[in-house]
Structure 1
């Protein structure tokens, strides 16, 4: 990507206007819009893999992380000619195709990318994702909880990849073959969630209402459904330290790593060293297990 200056830049043949490149977006760590767009370009081969051809919701922070924010589902206007959209349940979603759209959205201070869990025009999930959602803002047991779920999945013959949400939680991703349904994944999700909750009622809960969870970690198998979203792997997060939703090795989970360890200022080095951990796991035989459930 060319140097980011005020005015316009050309990205993959598309001219994109850049405004206020020196605007602080994560002031606590010194990340301006100029730096953000450069980091977004570096993340794009990984981030696009899990956003491309899906219905995209972004969270925009026009004045940077300390300022107000808003979710944007409908594509903003005016829309550049290279940006594709798809209509779904009355909403005109952006459908990412490449780097120009990412840079255009980055210039609009879209700091978080939350894609649908299915491709545009499809009702089938792209992968299975379990969301472990802490009730506490700081939850020292989150990696312990993730490790336990990973062990249960492994006992079922399923390989999985944990990732930090970039905020407080952890998601666990299980690649699947095309054809399995959201309902089937909810069925096995409920099975695993009920098992870990019964084994560790002090740690897990299936209670949807946060006010009734106490200090327990919510095993959320319900968020994984058509029309819903979760933070994409490799999306930046609008947190003071500019954390990035980062796939982990299970060995790192065992070492009780912190979600704050992975951020925009060090993610490039990690990716150049480790690559995309999710892409290294083949589709898992989830349907075989679903067929055996009552």
Structure 2
């Protein structure tokens, strides 16, 4: 085992233990190189996380064949989500107090400087999951995040096609989005919004956006929560805007065999890129060349009113109300029955 090394990050000394520990063994990537990757894209990853309560997705044993992530029902995985600040964190690791849907509070890591990212990477954090809020106001999202999730029979190209239609729709509403690859097969769109709407309202706005995309592209888009109803279409995962649901940040590393990363892209290049173009090995050079393509997310804020008007129109003209929440959430006002359609029919 190699001795620990110390690196200077913004005036802080960050200790990297066991720096030669394999993290992506098939690629020859070790822990030290993961830390160095985050430092190479420092302004970008910090821009995505700064002042936001952040869940850490930790892979302390690295990524290897058969490795799996622990879930609520199975805690025997090789990796896990860290929702509370780890014990023994350095004093420069600040926190934000958030409240889970159950009403229980927690103090989550709230990155304010790049040393916090390096410290988290030393703990095995590959993927950072920031809330769509800032520490100054944890109850009102300042980002509408659109997760375009390919279902079986669809792929990244299908998600791109839907993203382009979403761009046109948002443009017609006087809004704009910043695209990025998910690091897997999907596409994420970030729409900066004024932080004066609740999670419930932002989620309903995303449902309205998804329904309008489904109306325009019925054979390509679905907002059906139940997998048995989705078919081979792109699922607009509206529940990613529910409280305590997050998506991988820009520049996060995903636990894939190629060590792919979630990469901001321009709208012009989106149709021609592939998820595997962006990895721990290739992203530093790209970042040095193009900078942070998501920097603009923090530079503007759109009103959510156009989408809220669409919510009202769907309710008034089409009798379309709320959709199911995830199973671990308390029953929400106006929510339909949270039961799988085939099971409801059988009952």
TM over 0.5: yes
Aligned to 1:169: 186
Q: 1:152 aligns with which of 143, 152, 169?
A: 169
- Find the counterpart in structure 2 of residue 275 from structure 1: 291
Q: Which has the higher strand share?
A: 1
- The counterpart of 1:72, out of the listed 76, 82, 98, is 82
SS of the equivalent of 1:152 reads helix
Aligned residues: 290
Aligned to 2:281: 265
Measured after TM superposition, the shift of residue 184 of structure 1 is 3.8
Q: Which has the higher contact order (CA 8 A, sep 6+)?
A: 1
Contact 1:204 1:219 in 2 (8 A): yes
Cα distance per residue 1:214-270 (max 9 Å; x no partner): 322111223113322111112111111111111111122233x21111111111222
Q: Which runs of 5+ in 2 are unaligned?
A: 68-77, 100-104, 313-347
SS at structure 1 position matched to 2:203:
helix
Cα distance between partner residues in 2 of 1:95 and 1:235: 16
**Contact 1:117/1:227 (CA < 8 Å) preserved in 2?**
no
Structure possessing the higher radius of gyration over alpha carbons: 2
RMSD of aligned residue pairs (Cα, Å): 2.2
Alignment of 1:44-59 (within 5 A): 44-59=42-57
Alignment of 1:23 with 2:15, yes or no, is no
- Alignment partner of 1:229 is 2:246: yes
Superposition deviation, residue 180 in structure 1? 4.0
Residue 250 in 1 paired to residue 250 in 2?
Answer: no
What is the TM-score with the length of structure 1 in the denominator?
A: 0.90
Change (3 A) 1:267 1:165: same
Change (3 A) 1:128 1:11: same
Distance 1:45 1:100, change over 3 A: same
For 2:268, what is the secondary structure of its paired residue? helix
Q: Deviations over 1:128-186 (max 9, x none)?
A: 11111112386141211211211221222322221111122111111223434434433
Q: CA deviation at 1:77?
A: 1.8
The verdict on how the C-alpha distance between 1:213 and 1:243 changes in structure 2, with shifts beyond 3 A counting, is same
Partner of 1:116: 131
1:141 and 2:158 matched: yes
Give matches, 1:195-234, under 5 Å: 195-234=212-251
Please give the alpha-carbon distance, in whole angstroms, between the structure 2 residues aligned to 1:157 and 1:106.
38
How far apart in 2 are the matches of 1:260 and 1:110? 20
CA contact (8 A) 1:5 1:18 kept: no
Runs of 5+ consecutive residues of structure 1 not aligned to the other structure: none
Contact 2:181 2:187 in 1 (8 A): yes
Alpha carbons of 1:229 and 1:248: their partners in 2 closer, same or farther (altered >3 Å)? same
What is the CA–CA distance in structure 2 between the aligned matches of 1:52 and 1:134, rounded to whole Å? 29
Which digits, 9 at most, give the CA deviation of each residue in 1:2-46, with x for residues without a partner?
xx9723334333332221111111223222111111111112211
**CA–CA separation in structure 2 for the residues paired with 1:266 and 1:157:** 35
